[in-house]
């Protein structure tokens, strides 16, 4: 299947078609179709019209997937104008609960008029085969029913990124870490696997009853010095992270789910974990604008429904204050062009609680510019605190109104998107302008969504790419299993060793990893006819401790390979069954196509031994 980072711009399309035109030489005189024009001029005019139709169709898709439009915002303003202060205070809070029974959560949504709830691992009921999806769907429906009287859905959310941050595992489709998409993108210049992976991920979640997920990460990792994000990032290259983050957000939306690019002002380049303390970002604004903020600026330009604000002190913006409580940080994000919801990272994290305590955090975040307060340490106290602050004049009523309007607009948009009432989304067929079987020289690949028209560098890269032919913008050609297998195969990276070498002549011995890791690799080996128990020693690394053997494989972040003792070192970026099948392919002699999305020791970003 040919691949391309984006479909060609309308201008490039017209040029390509003109250059490829096989129109017959005109007879003397004017073209009969259009008096005054030669046949060649008539063809050029038709091509220009075709380019305009394509541009308009792409703009409709982008607008539909980018977030609420003017109609949603107007409707939200009308709804919020009729809410009491008590109801508005609830509309800016997403709470949490601590059991698999959602009864208490549903009561809080009803009583406090909460925007919704987030589901964490502790909320997922389990059965013999992993997550009990039927029971989970029932629990989520109970929460949703509590919001029915208001006429628009509750925001039922989850952190589901793939890799380490997977709240709901099997029997849902498993996905490798986001960094796998980064390794594949550097190799193929194709953001399609990320787009499709997130579409299938969102499809699973929406069918369970979710309306939002706090993904994808827009963080640019600095590698080994980054203790928190690691393989949760798409990589260390700001432009690659930008493209992948936008395409991932588009994939989520295309399946009817609201996504959230996170964690502004960038958690990938600080050296402490905001779950435990307040990280300090010492970079100046120029460095932040050229690295950490690039994905957020391009996400704002493309349009995304939500951006998550992290808990990071940025002295260049406001010293001594977490970004989630800093007016300067929210203004910096708005200055990049984001006009959708800004949701805080979890407000029960140490970075916030150590700074301000749990009583006033929600009010401070709202006053600073937040629209949605995620997981306050005490939901009822946060709700009461917002009411008291407005009544005392410590929080402007208009600021609360603005936040509530953005949140309600988001939920109205998601409702329309999931129902197939917009120009893109579940069940919405691509416009005819983009799948015209008669367009011999233009047909979009099925992997990516239209890129914003003014991404100059990306458009130039697209125009330089080979024009795809014979493809349709269809959603039914591939299954989730095929996409995750493609992503695993495209990302596996040979960091050191001989490319294409068969290392399994005498079988393999498997060390390290978890019991499940070893079992999955053994199953993949046996399926490929590779004996297990003797031969090449393959050591699996799931953390940051170096290992040794004939072959050392990093299942998560690849930086651990820098200190590993092995002739052959491989980065896998995942622990799925498809990831281990891809590993066996490489061990039996296939070339590893992926490239490092981050530095590993002396090996630079983009390195591959193949």
Per-residue pLDDT at 54: 81
In this predicted structure, the answer to whether residue 514 has a pLDDT above a threshold of 90 is: yes
> What average pLDDT does this structure show over 489-509?
97
Q: Say yes or no to pLDDT of 25 above 90.
A: no
| Dihedral sign computed on CA atoms, order 266, 272, 277, 283 | negative
What are the start-end ranges of the E strands in 385-459?
none
Q: What is residue 474's predicted lDDT score, i.e. its pLDDT?
A: 41
Judge: domain 67-418, CATH 3.20.20.300: yes
Q: Read off the pLDDT band of 543 (50, 70, 90).
A: confident
pLDDT for residue 601: 96
Bond from prior residue into 300 cis (ω within 30 degrees of 0):
no
- Give ∠ CA 271-272-276 in degrees, rounded to 5: 175
The DSSP string of 50-73 is: HHHHHHHHHHHHHHHHHS--HHHH
Catalytic residue among 159, 254, 345, 371, which? 345
Centroid of chain to Cα 235: 13
Give residue-wise pLDDT tens across range 557-592.
Answer: 999 999 999 999 999 999 999 999 999 999 999 999
Tell me the mean pLDDT in the region 273-288.
Answer: 95
Tell me the average pLDDT across 215-240.
97
- What is the pLDDT at residue 451? 63
Provide, rounded to the nearest whole percent, the portion of the chain with pLDDT above 90.
Answer: 77
- Residue spans of the domains in the chain: they are 10-64+428-464, 67-418, 492-587
CA distance 255 to 252: 5
Residue 129 pLDDT > 60, yes or no? yes
How large is the average pLDDT for residues 544-552? 89
Instruction: Kindly tell me if the per-residue pLDDT of 5 is higher than 80.
Output: no
Residue 298 above 80 pLDDT?
Answer: yes
Say if residue 265 is preceded by a cis peptide, omega within 30 of 0: yes
Q: Which of 75-89, 237-251, 540-554 has the lowest mean pLDDT?
A: 540-554
pLDDT at 435: 63
CA–CA dist 182, 190 (Å, integer):
10
Mean pLDDT of the 234-257 span: 96
Whether the per-residue pLDDT at 262 is higher than 80: the answer is: yes
Tokens in use for 494?
């040979």
pLDDT the model gives residue 34: 55
Query: Nearest-CA neighbor of 555 among 588, 590, 510?
Result: 510
37 touches 31 (CB < 8 A): yes
CA 398 from centre of chain:
32
Q: Which pLDDT value is given to residue 477?
A: 66
Q: Average model confidence (pLDDT) for the chain?
A: 88
In terms of residues, how long is the chain? 610
> Which of 14-28, 105-119, 459-473 shows the highest mean pLDDT?
105-119
| Token duo for residue 389 | 């602050």
- State residue 410's pLDDT score: 98
pLDDT band at 446 (very low <50, low <70, confident <90, very high): very low
Least confident of 319-323, 434-438, 605-609: 434-438
- Contact between 395 and 366 under an 8 Å Cβ cutoff? The reply is yes
> pLDDT tens-digit profile of 360-371?
899 999 999 999
Question: CB atoms < 10 A from the CB of 24, how many?
Answer: 7
**Going by C-beta distance under 8 Å and a sequence separation of 6 or more, which residues neighbour residue 534?**
506, 507, 509
Q: What value does the mean pLDDT take over residues 169-192?
A: 93
- pLDDT confidence band for 464 (50 / 70 / 90): very low
The kind and range of the H/E element at 136 are helix 133-147
- Measure Cα distances from 602 to 455, 554, 561, 608 in Å: 32, 17, 11, 12
Q: Kindly tell me if the per-residue pLDDT of 459 is higher than 50.
A: no
Of 275, 335, 339, 421, catalytic? 275
282 labelled catalytic: no
> Does residue 198 carry a catalytic annotation?
no
Q: Could you give the strand order of the β-sheet that contains 508-512, starting from the edge strand earlier in sequence? A: 493-496, 568-571, 551-554, 536-541, 508-512
What pLDDT was estimated at residue 22? 37
Asked if the model's pLDDT at residue 438 lies above 50, the reply is no
Q: What is the pLDDT of residue 264?
A: 98
| Residue bearing tokens 């997981």 | 375
What pLDDT is stored for residue 467 in this prediction?
30
């Amino acid at each position: 299947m040919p691949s391309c980072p984006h479909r060609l711009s309308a201008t490039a399309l017209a040029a390509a078609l003109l250059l490829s035109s096989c129109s017959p030489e005109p007879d003397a005189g004017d073209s009969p179709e259009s008096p005054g024009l030669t046949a060649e001029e008539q063809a050029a005019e038709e091509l220009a019209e075709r380019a305009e139709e394509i541009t308009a169709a792409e703009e409709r898709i982008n607008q539909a997937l980018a977030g609420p439009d003017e109609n949603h915002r107007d409707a939200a303003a009308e709804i919020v104008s009729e809410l009491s202060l008590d109801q508005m205070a609830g509309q800016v809070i997403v709470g949490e609960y601590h059991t698999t029974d959602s009864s208490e959560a549903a009561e809080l949504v009803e009583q406090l008029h909460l925007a919704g709830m987030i589901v964490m691992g502790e909320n997922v009921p389990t059965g013999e085969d992993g997550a009990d999806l039927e029971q989970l769907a029932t629990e989520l429906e109970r929460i949703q029913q509590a919001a029915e009287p208001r006429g628009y859905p509750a925001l039922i959310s989850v952190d589901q990124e793939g890799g380490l941050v997977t709240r709901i595992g099997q029997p849902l489709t498993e996905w490798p870490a986001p960094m796998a998409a980064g390794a594949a993108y550097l190799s193929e210049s194709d953001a399609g696997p990320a787009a499709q992976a997130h579409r299938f991920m969102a499809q699973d979640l929406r069918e369970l009853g979710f309306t939002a997920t706090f993904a994808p990460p827009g963080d640019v990792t600095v590698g080994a010095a980054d203790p928190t994000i690691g393989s949760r990032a798409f990589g260390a290259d700001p432009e690659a992270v930008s493209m992948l983050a936008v395409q991932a957000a588009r994939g989520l939306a295309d399946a009817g789910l609201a996504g959230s690019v996170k964690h502004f002002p960038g958690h990938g380049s600080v050296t402490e974990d905001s779950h435990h303390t307040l990280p300090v970002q010492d970079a100046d604004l120029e460095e932040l604008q050229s690295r950490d903020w690039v994905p957020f600026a391009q996400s704002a330009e493309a349009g995304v429904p939500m951006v998550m604000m992290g808990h990071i002190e940025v002295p260049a913006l406001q010293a001594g204050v977490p970004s989630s409580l800093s007016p300067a940080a929210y203004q910096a994000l708005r200055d990049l062009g984001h006009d959708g919801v800004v949701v805080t990272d979890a407000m029960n994290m140490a970075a916030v609680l150590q700074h301000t305590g749990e009583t006033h955090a929600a009010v401070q975040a709202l006053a600073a510019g937040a629209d949605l307060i995620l997981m306050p340490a005490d939901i009822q106290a946060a709700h009461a605190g917002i009411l008291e602050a407005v009544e005392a004049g410590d929080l402007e009523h208009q600021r609360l109104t603005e936040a509530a309007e953005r949140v309600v607009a988001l939920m109205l948009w998601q409702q329309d998107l999931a129902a197939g009432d917009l120009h893109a989304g579940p069940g919405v067929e691509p416009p005819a302008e983009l799948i015209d079987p008669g367009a011999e020289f233009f047909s979009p690949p099925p992997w990516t969504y239209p890129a914003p028209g003014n991404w100059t560098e990306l458009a130039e890269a697209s125009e330089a790419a080979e024009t795809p032919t014979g493809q349709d913008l269809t959603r039914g050609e591939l299954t989730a299993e095929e996409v995750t297998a493609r992503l695993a195969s495209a990302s596996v990276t040979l960091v050191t060793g001989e490319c294409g070498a068969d290392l399994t002549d005498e079988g393999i011995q498997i060390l390290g990893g978890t019991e499940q890791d070893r079992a999955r690799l053994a199953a993949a080996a046996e399926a490929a006819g590779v004996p297990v128990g003797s031969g090449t020693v393959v050591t699996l690394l799931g953390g940051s401790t170096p290992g040794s053997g004939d072959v050392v494989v990093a299942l998560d972040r690849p930086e651990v390979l820098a200190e590993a003792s092995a002739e052959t070192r491989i980065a896998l970026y995942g622990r799925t069954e498809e990831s281990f099948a891809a590993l066996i392919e490489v061990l039996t002699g296939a070339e590893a196509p992926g490239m490092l999305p981050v530095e590993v020791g002396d090996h630079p970003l983009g390195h591959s031994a193949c």
